[in-house]
Amino acid sequence: MSDEKPPQLARDLTLYLLARFLLVAVIAWVLSLVGVPLLVALLIGLVVGLPLGLLLFRSLNARVTAGLAKRNEKRARARAQLRAQLRGDTPGTPE
């Protein structure tokens, strides 16, 4: 456990969200330079940018997904341990 790198879920999630929003903004900016109205450019940017972000930022998406899965696994284990303690199945001392 001591060799394990500390989880970077918050950093990865923030980077992923910012990257996807930046992609939408860049697409909307390019479209507005071409002469497309800003609202239409933003809508097209959302429709095109969000799915494109899944492809372009695949490795970052995988890190976020792995971090969320690990966090959910820890929470489920803690919840199961708490339920067992409440039922009286295990002693009150943590492992």
pLDDT tens digit string along 3-36? 445 568 889 999 999 999 999 999 999 999 999 9
Flag whether 3 is in a domain.
Answer: no
Flag whether 79 is in a domain.
Answer: yes
Percent of the chain with pLDDT over 70: 86
Flag whether 2 is in a domain.
Answer: no
Flag whether 1 is in a domain.
Answer: no
Domain hosting residue 26, numbered range: 9-87
Flag whether 35 is in a domain.
Answer: yes
Domains in the chain: how many in total?
1
The span from the CA of 23 to the CA of 56, in Å, is 10
**Helix crossing, 38-56 with 58-87: angle to 10°?**
70
pLDDT tens digit string along 46-86?
999 989 999 999 999 999 999 889 988 988 999 999 888 88
Flag whether 70 is in a domain.
Answer: yes
